[in-house]
Amino acid sequence: MTRSVRTEEEGIEDHGNRPTPKEVDGDRLLPASTSLALLLIVFISLSLLTLFSIMRGGVGHVGSDAGGRKAYAPADFPEIEFDLALSEEVEVATSEEAGGIFRVPPPPFSEEGIFPCSECHADMEVNRERRELEDFHDDIHLEHGPADRWCFDCHNPDDRDSLRLVNDTLIGFDESYRLCGQCHGTIYRDWREGIHGRRVGYWNGAKSYLLCAHCHNPHSPRFRPLKPLPPPVRPQFLDAADGGRP
């Protein structure tokens, strides 16, 4: 063996006497029975693994509870309005000469007829005590910033139909973004530039701006979680032959 290695390295042609590789390496191979047994073990374990994963995974190796089997279409969600019409404000702005200038839609009040506030509050004495509201507005629970925040940080005790900035400027409810912008300055700037918030309309012209309160409840501003629409059909369940919807 050593001789054949040396001749190979030296590049000497010695085909006549050189032993075949099988003869040389034969004594280093496992005995036939051991290797067979090893192969068998590997084969059985692999097939068991495959069988197990198929049984566990169901059709297409996906859990039986996993989605992505049914093809959903927009028509399956009639509650969602996919064809968005332009809002009145945008329509007005595009029809006028001074395109792009428009008002935000009216503020989203919790109930019909709750505004103007003075309807009720004009005759009521102002109670400046910090308290949990019980008789009326009891649906309001403040979850907004520090614990000592309360109604009159934003609402104007002397005239409830307006909001009050920290510098005592009174503003209408339709300008509430100025109030929010006192603390959320960077978001306010992004909103003005069109980066924060939803826009419907023209990328090169009039578009609807929403008030902060249209998406964030001012008393509890965290965005409410949504139910996601269903996932796409997994490739293994795509049935090109079946034209009809299941």
Partner 1 sequence: MSDPDREYDSAEENSEHRVDRRSLLIGGGLTAMAAVAATVAGSSSGFVERLLRDRFEELSPERKAEILDELEREYSRRFGRDVEVADTAPMEGVVFGYGLDIARCVGCRRCVYACVNENNQSRDPQIQWIRVLRMEKEHGIELAGSNAYYEPAEVPEPDAFYVPVACQQCRNPACVKVCPVKATWQEPDGIVVIDYDWCIGCRCCMSACPYGARHFNWADPVISSEELNPKTHYLGNRPRPRGVVEKCTFCIHRVREGRYPACVEICPVGARKFGNLLDETSEMRYLMREKRVFVLKEELNTQPRFYYFFAT
Binding site for partner 1 (CB under 8 A): 66-68, 71-75, 77, 80, 82-84, 190, 193-205, 207, 215, 223, 225-234, 238-246
Shortest Å distance, C-beta 61 to partner 1: 13
CB of 147 to partner 1, least distance (A): 23
Least distance from C-beta 200 to partner 1, angstroms?
A: 5
**What is the full DSSP assignment across 106-153?**
PP--SSTT--STHHHHTTSPP--------SSSTT----SSSTT--GGG
Of residues 25 and 190, the one with the C-beta less far from partner 1 = 190
Maximal C-alpha separation, the chain: 121
Residue given tokens 């374990």 in the structure block: 45
Shortest CB 230 distance to partner 1, Å: 6
Cα separation, 179 vs 213, in Å, equals 11
> Do 211 and 107 meet the contact criterion of CB atoms below 8 Å apart?
yes
Q: How far is the CB of 237 from partner 1 (least distance, A)?
A: 9
For partner 1, the closer of residues 12 and 85 by Cβ is 85
- Choice between 171 and 200, CB closer to partner 1: 200
Tokens coding 189: 């700037």
> Which residue number, 173 or 191, has a Cβ lying nearer to partner 1?
191
Q: Which of 221, 198, 225, 216 is closest to 104 using CA atoms?
A: 198
Q: Which is nearer to partner 1, 23 or 190 (CB)?
A: 190
